């Protein structure tokens, strides 16, 4: 079987695991009787674990020049940790198993995105034609998880998570590894990458824009439940969000233009602002779920453009680590702020104030994106080719 076909199947299954973890962990914790502050504590602490885990596994991948073997280890450990997490009720055990799952599952994301980009380049196909299947897996399993949780109980997620994890492990066993660069990995190249002003400003933009996005990922399900929605509706909302990404990723070869990434990111920031501002004033949980279709104008556009821009400025031999830095900001550092601050805001002032705060942060990200576009949008970075 061809590498892109296997990789598409792997994307479907890995993002299926993310669909059970990112949106439904807060719902599961809420089902176990935890309040928003406790949920925010677990999610925020998971962000600290992610900060350690993603660079660690990214460096291991770069140093050993293999992605596939690292993925095998992470998937197996994730399947076990996920089963234990969704089979637990004790607050202490929930914290322990959630941290283990953050340590093993979240580092798979940047490695998978790096694998997607490299295999796409080597096969002469678009990145989006592979990543589309990740959005499909996220959407389908998010929908399925909501129904499974409602009809079979929250603990039924344990077997579902473990089963999908094992299937992902089997597919990754047969996948070829990513093409590796012939350039040696050096600390000086990483130092040059991280000390570049354009790179640092770009990473700051990613951070500013990702905090409100991560707040939405963390507390949307809890907010829908508070407004009277069911677990099925939570699943439907994330299904709408993820399924809306499919066409955007599939058509990325058409709309994602080199040299236009910063403007594209800025436009995504504008739609993030509109999405969260509207969410603050909605009181019908069904309408809030339907609003998630605006995902098609936010995350897939933002993240695809960010990856392409990153790959234009990162040294070739540090691509996996560079991808890890991007994911670290989007899912790790920003996740800490989003979970701790978001949980505190939610507990003290409610969901409406939380979403209004998110809209303000998205507006700031849009403004900063415009500034960077004026500074760097009309020139091509030479960092990757000069190192």
CA–CA gap between residue 305 and residue 307 (Å, rounded)? 5
Residue 17 near residue 69, CB atoms below 8 Å: no
Work out the angle between the directed axes of helices 231-250 and 197-226 (0-180°, nearest 10).
150
Residue 89 near residue 32, CB atoms below 8 Å: yes
* Residue bearing tokens 């890890």: 324
- Those residues with Cβ within 8 angstroms of residue 338's Cβ, 6 or more apart along the chain or in another chain: 43, 44, 47, 211, 212, 214, 215, 217, 218
Residue environment code for 27-50, b if the CB has 16+ CB neighbours within 10 A, otherwise e: bbbbbbebebebbbbbbbbbbbbb
* Residue bearing tokens 């990543």: 131
pLDDT, residue 386, reads 40
Number of H helices, E strands in the chain: 19, 0
Residue 174 near residue 9, CB atoms below 8 Å: no
Planar angle of CA 339, 343, 348, nearest 5 degrees: 155
Taking the mean position of all CA atoms in its chain, how far away is CA 294? Answer: 17
DSSP 8-state assignment for residue 293? G
CA–CA gap between residue 59 and residue 328 (Å, rounded)? 13
C-alpha closest to that of 110 among 384, 330, 335: 330
Token representation of residue 182? 């012939």
pLDDT, residue 168, reads 94
Give the DSSP H or E segment for 369: helix 351-376
**Phi, psi dihedral angles at 172 (to 5 degrees):** -65, -25
CA–CA gap between residue 264 and residue 275 (Å, rounded)? 17
CA–CA gap between residue 223 and residue 202 (Å, rounded)? 31
CA–CA gap between residue 243 and residue 258 (Å, rounded)? 25
pLDDT, residue 131, reads 85
Token representation of residue 164? 């999908």
Got the DSSP string for 294-333?
Answer: GGGGSHHHHHHHHHHHHHHHS-GGGHHHHHHHHHIIIIII
pLDDT, residue 359, reads 97
Alpha helices by DSSP H, the chain: 3-21, 24-31, 36-64, 68-85, 91-105, 108-123, 127-152, 157-174, 187-195, 197-226, 231-250, 252-255, 261-281, 285-291, 299-313, 319-327, 334-349, 351-376, 383-386
pTM above 0.85, yes or no: no
CA–CA gap between residue 52 and residue 332 (Å, rounded)? 9
Tens digit of each residue's pLDDT, the chain (387 residues): 688 889 999 999 999 999 999 889 999 999 999 988 899 899 889 888 988 887 788 778 878 888 889 999 999 999 999 999 999 999 999 999 999 999 999 989 888 887 887 788 788 888 778 888 998 999 899 999 999 998 999 999 999 999 999 999 999 998 877 655 545 445 565 566 667 788 889 889 999 999 999 999 889 999 999 999 988 999 999 899 888 888 787 787 788 888 788 999 999 999 999 999 999 999 999 999 999 999 989 988 998 898 888 877 776 666 656 666 776 777 778 888 988 999 999 999 999 999 999 999 999 999 999 999 988 875 544 433 443
- Those residues with Cβ within 8 angstroms of residue 122's Cβ, 6 or more apart along the chain or in another chain: 3, 178, 179
C-alpha closest to that of 225 among 140, 275, 310, 150: 150
As a 3-state breakdown, the chain gives helix, strand, coil percent values, each rounded to 5, of: 85, 0, 15
C-alpha closest to that of 34 among 102, 77, 91, 103: 91
DSSP 8-state assignment for residue 284? -
Residue 110 near residue 54, CB atoms below 8 Å: yes
């Amino acid at each position: 079987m061809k590498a892109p076909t296997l990789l598409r199947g792997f994307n479907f299954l890995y993002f299926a695991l993310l669909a059970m973890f990112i949106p439904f962990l807060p719902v599961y914790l809420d089902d176990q009787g935890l309040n928003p502050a406790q949920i925010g504590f677990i999610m925020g602490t998971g962000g600290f674990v992610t900060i350690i885990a993603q660079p660690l596994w990214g460096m291991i991948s770069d140093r050993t020049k293999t992605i596939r073997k690292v993925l095998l280890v992470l998937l197996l450990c994730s399947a076990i940790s996920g089963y234990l997490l969704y089979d637990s009720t004790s607050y202490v055990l929930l914290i322990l198993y959630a941290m283990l799952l953050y340590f093993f599952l979240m580092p798979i994301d940047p490695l998978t995105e790096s694998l997607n980009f490299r295999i796409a380049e080597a096969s002469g196909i678009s990145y989006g034609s592979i990543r589309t299947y990740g959005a499909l897996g996220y959407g389908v399993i998010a929908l399925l998880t909501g129904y499974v949780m409602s009809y079979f109980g929250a603990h039924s997620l344990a077997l579902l998570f473990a089963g999908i994890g094992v299937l992902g492990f089997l597919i990754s066993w047969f996948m070829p590894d990513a093409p590796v660069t012939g350039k040696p990995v050096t600390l000086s190249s990483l130092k040059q990458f991280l000390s570049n002003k354009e790179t640092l400003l770009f990473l700051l933009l990613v951070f500013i824009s990702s905090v409100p996005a991560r707040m939405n990922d963390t507390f949307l399900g809890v907010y829908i439940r508070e407004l009277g929605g069911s677990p099925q509706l939570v699943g439907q909302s994330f299904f709408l969000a993820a399924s809306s990404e499919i066409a955007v990723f599939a058509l990325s070869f058409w709309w994602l233009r080199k040299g236009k990434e910063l403007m594209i990111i800025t436009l995504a920031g504008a739609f993030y602002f509109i999405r969260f501002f509207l969410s603050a004033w909605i009181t019908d949980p069904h309408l809030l779920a339907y609003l998630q279709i605006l995902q098609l104008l936010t995350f897939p556009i933002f993240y695809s453009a960010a990856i392409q821009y990153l790959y234009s400025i990162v040294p070739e031999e540090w691509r996996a680590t560079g991808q890890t830095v991007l994911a670290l900001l989007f899912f790790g550092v920003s996740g800490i702020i989003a979970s701790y601050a978001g949980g505190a805001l939610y507990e003290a002032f409610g969901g409406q104030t939380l979403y209004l705060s998110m809209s303000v942060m998205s507006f700031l990200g849009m403004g900063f994106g415009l500034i960077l576009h004026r500074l760097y949008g009309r020139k091509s970075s030479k960092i990757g080719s000069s190192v």
